[in-house]
């Protein structure tokens, strides 16, 4: 699976002048190094063929920035167990794999000195704005529901209406503490001490 996106096209400054040059930029997202190699070759071939057909020339520069994030099974199982125990809900892999770019991949990739681990998301979705978040009356993207309650837009973090949901902080803190305890084989807090957070 892959996605190739042209996200920037710049050419010329005036409406009545044909520009001499144009610059196209974009991204390549893939889940397999072999797929990336194919995409890179195809992009170069398509650009060369298009230029040859129109008497033009082009320079192609492709920066390979991040490898694919590949979680390790044992560490993923630990995160799933701790999430279920701490937050009271099973971990979900719905929507995975994702074609995001993430530098955490270097921490996991043995070719780059990485170690076993697990990259995960803590969801912040909720329908109604309340709890800690209720102290901010200017929640971006929020809207009044038919019942008069302030509803959260739940916009993804790369959108202009994104608002970090403060209500996830206590549960997230408790989960991270439990992950540290599991990793170090120790107990930082006694039974029930983190229950109020989660």
CA distances from 46 to 9, 53, 124 (A): 17, 11, 42
Q: What is the pLDDT of residue 196?
A: 64
Q: What is the pLDDT of residue 197?
A: 62
Cβ burial, residue 54 (10 Å; 0-12/13-18/19+): exposed
Q: Running along the chain, 198 residues long, what does each successive block of 10 average in pLDDT?
A: 92 95 95 92 97 96 91 94 87 80 92 92 84 73 81 81 85 92 90 70
pTM of the model: 0.75
Q: What is the mean pLDDT of the chain?
A: 88
Q: What is the pLDDT of residue 39?
A: 95
Give 26-37 pLDDT, tens digit per residue: 999 999 989 999
Q: What is the pLDDT of residue 100?
A: 83
């Amino acid at each position: 699976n892959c996605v190739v996106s042209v996200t920037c096209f710049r050419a010329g400054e005036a409406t009545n002048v044909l520009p001499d040059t144009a610059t196209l930029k974009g991204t390549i997202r893939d889940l397999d190094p072999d797929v990336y190699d194919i995409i890179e070759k195809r992009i170069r071939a398509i650009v060369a063929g298009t230029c040859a057909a129109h008497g033009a020339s082009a320079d192609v520069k492709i920066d390979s920035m991040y490898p694919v994030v590949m979680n390790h099974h044992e560490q993923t199982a630990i995160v799933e167990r701790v999430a279920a125990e701490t937050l009271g809900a099973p971990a979900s892999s719905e929507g995975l794999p994702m074609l995001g770019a993430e530098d955490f991949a270097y921490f996991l990739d043995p070719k780059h000195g990485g170690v076993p681990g697990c990259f995960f998301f803590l969801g912040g979705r909720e329908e109604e704005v309340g709890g800690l978040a209720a102290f901010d009356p200017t929640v971006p993207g929020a809207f009044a529901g038919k019942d008069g309650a302030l509803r959260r837009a739940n916009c993804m973090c790369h959108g202009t209406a994104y608002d970090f949901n403060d209500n996830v902080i206590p549960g997230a803190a408790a989960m991270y503490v439990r992950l540290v305890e599991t990793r170090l084989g120790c107990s930082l807090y006694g039974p029930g001490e983190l229950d109020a957070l989660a």
